[in-house]
Structures are given as C-alpha cells and as structure tokens.
Copies of this chain bind each other. A is one copy, B any other.
C-alpha cells in the first residue's frame, strides 16, 4: 500500500463536503455535463471492446463485474457515471444473450473526502452493490486483476503533490509571486510536467495491476490543444486573477509574502499529444479512442458561477494554507476582478478541452 504518497496527497486535496452553497455537490454541474457528453461514447465503445465471449476472464467465474470510479468525490456525478457504465454492460450482455452479471461498484477518493455524505447520496433505488475505497489513486488500491472497468473523470489534473522545486527559494524553478505555472518561467512549467509524467505512470501502472486482461478504462482529462499555453486560457487568466487577489492581501498585510510565495496550485493540464505519449510510454494499455468532448459552460460564462466553482475546488486548499480568516474576502475580491475580465466576453480564452480517452488493458 503506497502510504507515503497517499498520506501526502490526502492531507490536503479534497472537495468541499456537505450540501452548503460552496459545496462540491452544488457546484459540479460542469463535471455532470462532461459525463453526459461521454455517455454515448462509453456505450458505443463498450459494445465494441467488451469481449465477454473471447475473454472469459473479463467476467469472473462468480459472475461479478467490478467497476471503480477513481476520484469520485461525494456525488451525484459518480452515480451517473457508474450507472451509465452498468447500462452499457447490460446492453452488451443482452445482445450477446449472456447472463447479466452482478455489479459491485467501488467509489474511490482520498481519505479526507467526505465519505459520510457520499454514502448518504447513494441512490436508494440502485441495482448494484457498493463499497468505498479510501486512498490516493496514485497507488494500488485493489488486489491484482480484480477490476473489470475503471473510470476517472476530471480528476487527473490533480497532481499527487506540488513539485518540490517550485517552492524551493534556491531553485531555478522557484515560482515566486505566482500560484501556478501559467505565465511563469519555463522551468516552473517543466517542474509541473515532470511531476505529471511521474504521476501518470504511477496511475496507469496501478490500474494496470488492478484490471483484468481486457479490462476497460475511461479517462476524462482536461487538456489544452497541442501548442496552446495555459496562460492564454480562461483557466490561466482566472488563476492569475486569484494570484493577484493574494498579492492584494500581502500588500495590506493580511498575509505574509513568504506565505504567498509558498502556495502553488497542484493542477496540471496536458496537451492531448502529451497524454497519448505518456500512455504509450507506460505500455500497459491499448488506446482505443481519444476524442474531444463538447465543453460545458462555453456559451455563457458567468463570474458568480465560475467563482463558486473555483471555490468548491480550491477553497479547501486555500483554507489549509492561509487559514479560514481570509477565504471569504479572497473570493469576494476574486469575483469582483473576474467580473471585469475579458474572459467573460471574449471566446478566444476558452481553449481548454476535455478529452475522452478509452483504454483497454493489454494481456499480460
């Protein structure tokens, strides 16, 4: 059990639990829309690539089919995702005149994810068995060859940790005065991409162990088109704005400069070509499909909605690093600055695209 890595990540990185106005459960419509976009792709590709007859190990001798959602948060999106997968398997079984298996669904997220809320959100009418698996997905979480379908949507941009170099004042990768690699020196970007490369290999190797031969995996990954820089995107601009709000707090003495300089966001957004190369380098999976998904929210960005969304995702990180006293003021300031930002009116900033990646575990 890769406790070192688990522990490092779990102490900080989780969504805001409960059902309040800043909770993830009320601010996850974006992620939901992505799952809707992926729905038909999952059905089609699963019909094509779930080879029950050719590969009997795909369904165990007990006729149990195990699905895991990695980085599930607290619902309801995770239920939508796994129920879509179940429906795809059922369709395939019906068309093959095979018995429909019993489904066991595992919901994974970090130890500090609000599992109590997740459990209360599980649909009462479900037709599957459930379990929650705590721990970082950058490590093996299941016994060897016991999963049949893995799913991980809009979670892989979370790095396992902040690259060490970007917080070391003596390093050429020190990210002084910024909170992300957007707009920073190349060395900072390189430190982030090195960490991403390492994390993706750990992720793919862990899933490679857990999945049976022929097992399937869907990843939904937020990317920038090949060659596009983070700093030219709405995400990069929003992070810059948030960074400037922190600087404002430094100016009025509410937080120290050192405190600000030691804060960085643990997010990385790869290019699709980069993602493809990392999967190929890992070598455990066939790439069956890489496709763009329609981008939710692009039609009508709203400063309040975007700020709520940002707060649901990074509010916990901010509070952990800077304390509770500054959170409200920071996001109020962010909303005000964001409202005057060109990203609300100019389409050219909306370049980030979610990629749907469908993988199949190679035999071995």
Contacts and interface: CB of A to CB of B under 8 A. Distances in A.
Contacts of A116: 112, 114-116
Nearest to A114: B116
A143 B7 contact: no
A142 B115 contact: no
Nearest to A117: B116
B129 A142 contact: yes
Contact of A115 (B103, B115, B140): B115
A291 interface: no
Interface stretch (A55-63, A269-277, A326-334): A55-63
A64 B144 contact: yes
Q: Is the interface of A mostly helix, strand, loop or mixed?
A: loop
A121 B326 CA distance: 31
B104 A64 contact: no
Contacts of A134: 119, 122, 130, 132
Interface string A94-113: 00000000111010000110
Interface string A130-162: 111111000011111110000000000000000
A133 B104 CA distance: 11
A363 to B, nearest CB: 15
Interface in A33-66: 60-64
A7 B124 contact: yes
Number of copies: 2
A125 B60 CA distance: 30
A136 B116 CA distance: 15
Given A61-B61, A119-B115, A102 B132 contact: no
A354 to B, nearest CB: 29
Contacts of A111: 119-120, 122
Contacts of A106: 131
A3 B126 CA distance: 9
Interface string A288-324: 0000000000000000000000000000000000000
Contacts of A7: 124
A130 B133 contact: yes
B129 A64 contact: no
Contacts of A124: 3, 7
Contacts of A144: 62-64, 102
Contacts of A122: 111, 134
13 contacts: A1-B127, A1-B128, A60-B62, A62-B143, A102-B143, A102-B144, A104-B143, A111-B120, A111-B122, A115-B132, A130-B133, A131-B131, A132-B132
Given A106-B131, A112-B116, 15 more contacts: A1-B126, A1-B129, A3-B125, A60-B60, A60-B61, A62-B144, A63-B143, A63-B144, A64-B146, A102-B144, A103-B143, A111-B120, A115-B116, A116-B116, A129-B133
